[in-house]
């Protein structure tokens, strides 16, 4: 049984509101102090998760994120400031958290988590928190946690809705029981394409942090075997039961998750924004297709034909096969997926992805173009 004597005066003062909590007290705080938690993704979800876990006193926080801070992050990633642009998220997050609670140990990892390094990065963790926004990484983290027998706290957000769950708790249901197979590549927009209400990431991130503390201390039963669905517009909270599919018996090792999710990158034909400008200036006979959403098109566009990504399957007959077709989106990711999908499923051989998307155009060709 832990007591006040096991904590320094600074710790006792800092965590005093935990000490007086019924069914919590110094014993629970000692468990928090001894815990090692890995947070994968220091973005919209990761920022509130990290802030509250650091404030709560989690002894060691490993922060895995290879990305850098951009202006569009600041709408929801509240650890960062305008002066942090282009700096590495993991490093800046660790710096801010040290200022919040200098009594803890922080380990920023400025690299992607992959099937090659996942087991070594996660093996010493008591809990893994998924704050990412893509299916390959979710399956990777789930499988690694199953193999290592570590609870996996899942969170996701899209537009006005979010999800929270605890998978692999005491070898219970895992993410593959909830999502046995990934959706078709490109069929589910990410936050960049579909948008997200900034405050929602704070709500979901706080719920994830709450689950982490429940797992560590046992003060309440974790959200295992269920997925919590949150609607920020109606403030409805619903629970969805996760069926037991015994999927863990098939998880023997880590695999190629990009290939599993159908987004394995292969060589594709591309044009640069300079090459596209030359085509436009010469009035060449080619087709320019914009696969963004209408609200994105209204912000800025290249006067191409708007066929949103979700409408492509029903609009294949609108895409020329007898001349060059350049397809673009905001950054080149969605359009690249569509090029590969059309080549694979409809035999197109005349498609070109615009490298860097409309962002590259705004940066290198027309700097007056508004970006988002």
Contact by Cβ (8 Å): 56, 213: yes
- Looking at domain 35-260, which of 3.40.50.300, 3.40.50.720, 3.30.1330.90, 3.40.50.1780 is its CATH number? 3.40.50.720
**Which pLDDT does position 6 carry in this prediction?**
86
Kindly give, in sequence order, each residue whose CB lies less than 8 Å from that of residue 37, ignoring residues fewer than 6 positions away. 53, 58, 60, 61, 62, 125, 126, 127, 128, 129, 212, 216
Distance separating alpha carbons of residues 266 and 269, to the nearest angstrom: 10
- Looking at domain 270-364, which of 3.40.640.10, 3.40.50.620, 3.40.250.10, 3.40.50.920 is its CATH number? 3.40.250.10
The pair of three-digit structure tokens given for residue 280, joined into one six-digit string:
């436009």
**Which pLDDT does position 268 carry in this prediction?**
85
Catalytic site residue from 191, 206, 261, 300: 191
Ramachandran bin of 130, using left for φ above 0, alpha for ψ from -120 to 50, beta for the remaining angles: beta
Contact by Cβ (8 Å): 353, 270: yes
DSSP string over 108-134: EE-S---TTTHHHHHTT-SEEEE----
Mean pLDDT by 10 residues, the chain (372 residues): 78 97 96 99 98 99 97 96 97 98 98 96 99 96 98 97 98 95 72 83 99 98 97 97 90 91 76 96 96 93 95 94 96 90 92 96 96 88
Distance separating alpha carbons of residues 128 and 216, to the nearest angstrom: 11
**In the annotation, is 191 catalytic?**
yes
Q: Which value, in Å, is the radius of gyration of the alpha carbons in the chain?
A: 23
Distance separating alpha carbons of residues 57 and 34, to the nearest angstrom: 9
Contact by Cβ (8 Å): 273, 360: yes
**In the annotation, is 145 catalytic?**
no
Distance separating alpha carbons of residues 176 and 193, to the nearest angstrom: 25
Catalytic site residue from 47, 131, 261, 329: 329
Task: Provide the Cα torsion 108, 109, 112, 116; round to 10°.
Answer: -140
The pair of three-digit structure tokens given for residue 83, joined into one six-digit string:
């002066």
Which residue is listed with tokens 């890995």? 38
Distance separating alpha carbons of residues 101 and 14, to the nearest angstrom: 9
Distance separating alpha carbons of residues 55 and 11, to the nearest angstrom: 11
Nearest C-alpha neighbor of 168 from the set 93, 86, 225: 225
Q: How many residues belong to the chain? A: 372
Buried b (16+ CB within 10 A) or exposed e, 113-147: bebeebeebbeebbbbbbbbbbbbbbbbbbbbbbb
Domain ranges for the chain, please list them.
Answer: 35-260, 270-364
Sheet containing strand 325-328, edge to edge, reads 270-271, 351-354, 325-328, 287-290, 305-306
Q: Is the dihedral of CA 255, 258, 261, 265 positive or negative?
A: negative
């Amino acid at each position: 049984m832990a007591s006040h004597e096991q904590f320094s005066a600074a710790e006792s003062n800092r965590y005093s509101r935990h000490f007086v909590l019924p069914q919590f007290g110094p014993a629970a705080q000692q468990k928090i102090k001894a815990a090692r938690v890995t947070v994968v993704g220091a973005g919209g979800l990761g920022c509130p998760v990290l802030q509250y876990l650091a404030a709560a006193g989690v002894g060691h926080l490993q922060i895995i994120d290879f990305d850098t801070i951009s202006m569009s992050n600041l709408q929801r990633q509240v650890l960062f400031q305008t002066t942090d642009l282009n700096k590495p998220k993991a490093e800046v997050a660790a710096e801010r958290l040290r200022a919040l609670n200098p009594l803890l140990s922080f380990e920023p990892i400025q690299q992607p988590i992959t099937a090659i390094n996942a087991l070594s990065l996660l093996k010493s963790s008591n809990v893994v928190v998924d704050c990412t926004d893509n299916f390959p990484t979710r399956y990777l983290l789930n499988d690694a946690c199953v193999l290592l027998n570590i609870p996996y706290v899942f969170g996701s957000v899209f537009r006005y809705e979010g999800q929270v769950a605890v998978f692999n708790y005491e070898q219970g249901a895992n993410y593959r029981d909830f999502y046995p197979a990934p959706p078709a590549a490109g069929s589910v927009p990410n936050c960049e394409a579909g948008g997200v209400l900034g405050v929602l990431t704070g709500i979901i991130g706080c719920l994830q942090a709450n689950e982490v503390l429940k797992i560590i201390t046992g003060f309440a039963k974790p959200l295992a075997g269920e997925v919590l669905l949150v609607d920020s517009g109606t403030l409805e909270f619903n629970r969805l039961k996760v069926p037991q599919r015994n999927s863990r018996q098939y998880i023997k090792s880590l695999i190629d998750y990009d290939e599993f999710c159908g987004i394995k990158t292969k060589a594709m034909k591309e044009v640069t924004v300079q090459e596209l400008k030359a085509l436009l200036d010469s009035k060449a006979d080619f087709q320019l297709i914009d696969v963004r959403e209408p609200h994105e098109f209204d912000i800025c566009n290249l006067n191409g034909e708007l066929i949103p990504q979700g409408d492509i399957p029903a609009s294949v007959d609108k895409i020329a096969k007898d001349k060059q077709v350049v397809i673009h989106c905001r950054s080149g990711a969605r359009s690249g997926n569509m090029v590969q999908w059309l080549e694979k499923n409809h035999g197109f051989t005349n498609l070109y992805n615009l490298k860097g998307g409309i962002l590259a155009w705004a940066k290198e060709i027309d700097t007056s173009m508004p970006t988002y």
